[in-house]
């Protein structure tokens, strides 16, 4: 809960700063909420909420939004990464300046364009996320080198053969069971941590993003 409150406090402070700037610029709308990604394990499932243990050990009760979207994250083979695939990849930069993938998620066609671009990420310190189209794919032994293009630029990402590769499919509340590993997108609503999107693995599978 401390992490959640801290993240929300930071978001609120940024929102207030932005609000002052917006008033000066005669902008009518300002952001007032801040979503955070919580990674961890479902401890308990209730009718309208879950109890969630974040990876840092914090236990957080989270309300389930009435418009909750549940997506199953499941493993696929690296061969499913193809030219023109729309993918996301968390990565770290090595000492030579090369982006090394920590994971790759191949979006279904219905999610093409989701979060397009390159930006900082929070899976591990110093990581980035790139959501882009695979323009070229080069095999390097059992590994891959992806040449990615997004609307504002391009990146080359090396994918070691040991890196998890996953995709998404529609899920349901049956996946929310004690022990399930999940990534929960949460924000404060009516004074309570609330989620409208959960990405969850089946039978103990851990979403790697």
Q: Tens digit of pLDDT for each residue in 33-59? A: 689 999 999 999 999 999 999 999 999
pLDDT tens-place string over residues 113-128: 999 999 999 999 999 9
- Is the pLDDT at 7 greater than 90? The verdict is no
| pLDDT of the residue at 22 | 33
125-146 pLDDT, tens digit per residue, is: 999 999 999 999 999 999 999 9
Mean pLDDT of 68-90: 97
Going from the C-alpha of 69 to that of each of 66, 115, 171, 173, 199, the distances in angstroms are 9, 17, 8, 9, 9
- What pLDDT sits at residue 34? 87
Indicate whether 19 pLDDT > 60.
Answer: no
Percent of the chain with pLDDT over 70: 84
Model confidence at 5: pLDDT above 80: no
- Exposure b/e, 127-165, CB count within 10 A at least 16 = b: bbbbbbbbeebeeeeeebebbbebeeeebebbbeeebbb
Specify the pLDDT at position 29: 35
In DSSP terms, 60 is beta-bridged to 52
């Amino acid at each position: 809960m401390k992490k959640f409150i801290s993240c929300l406090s930071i978001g609120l402070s940024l929102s207030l700063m932005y609000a002052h700037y917006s008033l000066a610029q005669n902008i009518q709308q300002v952001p007032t909420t801040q979503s955070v990604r919580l990674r961890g394990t479902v401890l308990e499932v209730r009718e309208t909420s879950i109890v969630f243990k974040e990876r840092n050990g914090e236990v957080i009760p989270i309300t389930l939004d009435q418009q909750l979207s549940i997506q199953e994250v499941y493993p696929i083979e690296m061969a499913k990464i193809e030219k023109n695939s729309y993918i996301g990849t968390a990565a770290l930069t090595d000492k030579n300046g090369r982006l090394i993938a920590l994971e790759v998620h191949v979006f279904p066609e219905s999610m093409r364009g989701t979060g397009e671009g390159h930006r900082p990420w929070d899976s591990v310190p110093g990581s980035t996320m790139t959501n882009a189209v695979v323009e070229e794919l080069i095999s390097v032994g059992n590994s891959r080198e992806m040449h990615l293009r997004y609307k504002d630029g391009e990146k080359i990402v090396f994918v070691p053969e040991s890196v998890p590769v996953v995709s998404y499919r529609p899920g349901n509340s049956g996946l929310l069971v004690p022990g399930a590993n999940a990534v929960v997108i949460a924000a404060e609503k009516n004074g309570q941590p609330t989620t409208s999107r959960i990405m969850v693995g089946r039978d103990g599978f851990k979403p790697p993003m």
